[in-house]
Structure 1
Amino acid sequence: MGNEPAGDGQAADEADATGDADPETTAVDHAATSDDADGNPNTDSEDAETTTDAETETETETETDGGVHAYTVRLELVDEPGELLRALSPIADNGGNLLSIHHERGNITPRGHIPVEVDLECPPDRFDDVVEGLRGAGVNVIQAGAERYGEEISVVLVGHLVENDLSETLSRIETEADAAVIDLSLAAPDGTEATSSARLRLAVDSGRTDAALEAIRSIGSAKDLTVVEPLLGGDA
C-alpha cells in the first residue's frame, strides 16, 4: 500500500518529461519564429529596394529614350583658329550631344563669315539653354530649330555708311535687333566717303519684326542714318 501505482508513476514521469520538453520546444519554436521575424523585414526591405531601383531605372530610361530630339543649328563663324571649338563648347556644356558639322566655306556671308550647320540632339527642355549658351559665348546664331527666324524683312540704310563703320553697324543690328543679315547690297556711286545706301535682307524671329525694326531705328538715329522701312510682309 505504501507504493504508488505504477501507472500513476509512469504518468508522472511522462508529465515531467513533457514539462521539461515543452519549454525547450517552445524556446526553439520561438527562436525560429524570432528568426523569421528578424529575417522577413530584411527580405522585404531588400525586395523594396530592388523594386525602387528597378522603377528608378525604368523612369530614367523612359526620360532618356523618349526625351531626346534632334535639332539643326546654323551659325556664322569668323574664319579664325579656335572659333569652331568655342562655338561647340556651349552645346556640350548645356546637355547637347553633337551629331555632325557642315562647313559652307564656299558660301561666305556678306560680313565675310563662314556659315556652319551643326546637327545635335538633346532633351527639348535643354534646347533653349543650348541656344542661349551659344549666344552668351558671342556666337552668331542664324537659325536654331524650326521655330526661330521664321520671317524675313528688308530695310535700306542711307548715309555715310562706310565712314560710320558699316561692319560695326551690321554687328549692332544682329545683336540689338536679334536678327541675321542674310544678304547685303551696297551702292556707293560717288565713292565710299560720300553718301551711300545699303539694302539689307534680315531674318528675324517669328513675331519680332516690330521689335527688330525699332532696334534698327535706334541704331540709325545714333549713326545719323536714314532707315527706309518695308511694308510688313514685303520688301523695301
Structure 2
Amino acid sequence: MDAPTQEVTTMVDDPAENVDSVEGTAATDGEEPETDGGVRAYTVRLELVDEPGELLRALAPISENGGNLLSIHHERGNITPRGHIPVEVDLECPPDRFDDIVGALRDAGVNVIQAGAEHYGEEISVVLVGHLVESDLSDTLSRIEADVDAVLLDLSLAAPDGTDAISSARARLAIDSGRSDEALEAIRAIGSEKELTVVEPLLGGEA
C-alpha cells in the first residue's frame, strides 16, 4: 500500500511559499527552456531531512536546469531507515536536460534515491558483523552510500549480547544496474578498514 502523502507546504519556511510559487520559477526564470527532442515526464525520488526550507532547497536545481515541476508527493508517513523523509517529484524536461538536473541535485547535497526508470535498478543485501556500534555504524552506512552511490532501503541490527559486544546488521541497498561487483568491492574495503566481516552477496534483497 502506498504511504500517505501530505501537502508540500508542511516543509517550507513560510506557509505562503507553496507549490504554486515554486512551480512558477520553472516557467518564469529567463527564457523558455529548449525543447529540441521533445519534452518528457520523469520521476525523481529524494530523501530529505525534516527541516524548514529543505524542500525548497531541493527543488531549486530542478527549475534552474530547465525542469518544470508537475507534482510533489511528500511522504511523511514513510520514514527511511536513516530517519529522513522520502519525497517524490514528477517533472518534465527535454531528455538532454535530465542528467543535468540529477547531477545538480547531487551537487547541491540532495540525496537522490531514484531518478528515472533505469536508475537504481538492482538490489543487494549484505551482512556486516563486528563491533558495529564502536566503529560508528552510522558513519559506516553513510560511507557505503557515498562510495557505492547506493541508497539504504532497509536495515536490521542484531545485538544479543549488547551493543558493546559483537553484533550484526543486515543492510539492503539499491544500486545502479550492473554495478553489483563494484559495489561489493567498495563495501569490502570499508569493512576491512573498520575490521568488520562482510557476508555477501545476497542478491535482490534475499535472505
What TM-score does the superposition give when structure 1 sets the normalisation length?
A: 0.70
By percentage of residues, which structure has more strand? 2
Secondary structure, counterpart of 1:64 in structure 2: coil
Secondary structure, counterpart of 2:41 in structure 1: strand
Secondary structure, counterpart of 1:156 in structure 2: strand
Structure 2 unmatched runs, 5+: 1-31
Q: CA deviation at 1:234?
A: 6.6
Question: Which of 162, 165, 169 is the equivalent residue of 1:198?
Answer: 169
Asked if residue 80 in structure 1 is aligned to residue 18 in structure 2, the reply is no
Structure 1 unmatched runs, 5+: 1-60
Counterpart of 2:66 in structure 1 is: 95
* In structure 2, C-alpha distance between the alignment counterparts of 1:116 and 1:231, rounded to whole Å: 28
Question: Which of 213, 216, 220 is the equivalent residue of 2:187?
Answer: 216
By percentage of residues, which structure has more helix? 1
What amino acid sits opposite 1:101 in the alignment? I
* In structure 1, C-alpha distance between the alignment counterparts of 2:198 and 2:166, rounded to whole Å: 13
Q: In the TM superposition, what are the counterparts of 1:45-60 in structure 2 within 5 Å?
A: none
Q: Greater Rg, structure 1 or structure 2?
A: 1
Structure 1 outlier segments of 4+, above 6 Å: none
Q: CA deviation at 1:142?
A: 0.8
* In structure 2, C-alpha distance between the alignment counterparts of 1:231 and 1:75, rounded to whole Å: 25
What amino acid sits opposite 2:195 in the alignment? D
Counterpart of 1:113 in structure 2 is: 84
Counterpart of 1:150 in structure 2 is: 121
Q: Deviations over 1:21-42 (max 9, x none)?
A: xxxxxxxxxxxxxxxxxxxxxx
Instruction: Note closer, same or farther for the CA distance 1:65–1:124 as it changes in structure 2 (3 Å cut).
Output: closer
Q: CA deviation at 1:205?
A: 0.5
Counterpart of 2:18 in structure 1 is: none
Question: Would you say the 8 A contact 1:155–1:235 is kept in 2?
Answer: no
Q: Deviations over 1:70-121 (max 9, x none)?
A: 1001111111122111211111121111111111111111110101101111
- Note the aligned Cα RMSD (angstroms): 1.7
What amino acid sits opposite 1:131 in the alignment? V
Instruction: Note closer, same or farther for the CA distance 1:201–1:231 as it changes in structure 2 (3 Å cut).
Output: closer
